Amino acid sequence: MLLQVAEGLVHAHAAGVTHCDIKPGNILIDRQQVVKLTDLGVARATAGGPHHERKVAGTPAYIAPEVVQDGIGAATSASDIYSLGATGFHLVTGHLPYEDPDPLRMMVMHVQCIAPRASTRVLGLPHRLDALLARMLDRGPAVRPTATMLVKELRLLQAQAEGFGAQRGKRLPIQIYTTLGRAWRDLRATLDQVLNRR
């Protein structure tokens, strides 16, 4: 799922478009298991560089720190990578990077706190995936990988996971399967509701 979203971002960013609100609710998976990134309502063109729009737009649980600090005018392609990192963290661990019932406090945490490592939530999480999520969630935009770099890394992780399973007959920790299964069921239920309304 993360790989397909990253592949979509490669094209969007190349066209100078930043999504600005990547989150699970805006990622749909059809019956052919094709991932689609939806809701471009707050997307903006970034080809001309940062703007000076101070309005904060996005979802508190997944918003990039620079958008919290300086508004949506500060959003860049790196902001999308951060939001995808928060989404990936949620998918892998079943928890948000920062959790607080107050959305304002949650947004402040994105600015002031260092994101926890996913490996503290999931025992046995591959180090490479853990490190990649940490880079995506770095408060410094320059530290985060580009969408192109992210696609390469995720493809490598996928190939390694497939090779490891095929050659050694071993499986990822059961906790990962449980979390991914729960996330898939929730997403599937949402998708079915949308399809049934049509």
Residue-wise pLDDT for 168-195, tens only, equals 445 555 445 455 556 556 656 665 665 5
Instruction: Give pTM, 2 decimals.
Output: 0.79
The span from the CA of 118 to the CA of 122, in Å, is 6
pLDDT of 177: 45
The pLDDT-based confidence of 56 (bands split at 50, 70, 90) is confident
Work out the mean pLDDT of the chain and round it to a whole number: 83
Tell me the pairing of strands 17-18 and 35-37: unpaired
The pLDDT-based confidence of 46 (bands split at 50, 70, 90) is low
**21 flagged as catalytic:** yes
- Domains of the chain, by residue range, sit at 2-197
**What proportion of the chain, given as a percentage, has pLDDT over 70?**
75
Give the model confidence (pLDDT) of 102-154 as tens digits: 999 999 999 999 999 999 999 889 999 999 999 999 999 999 999 999 999 99
Active-site position among 21, 30, 39, 130: 21
- CATH T-level assignment (fold) for domain 2-197: Transferase(Phosphotransferase); domain 1 (1.10.510)
pLDDT of 57: 77
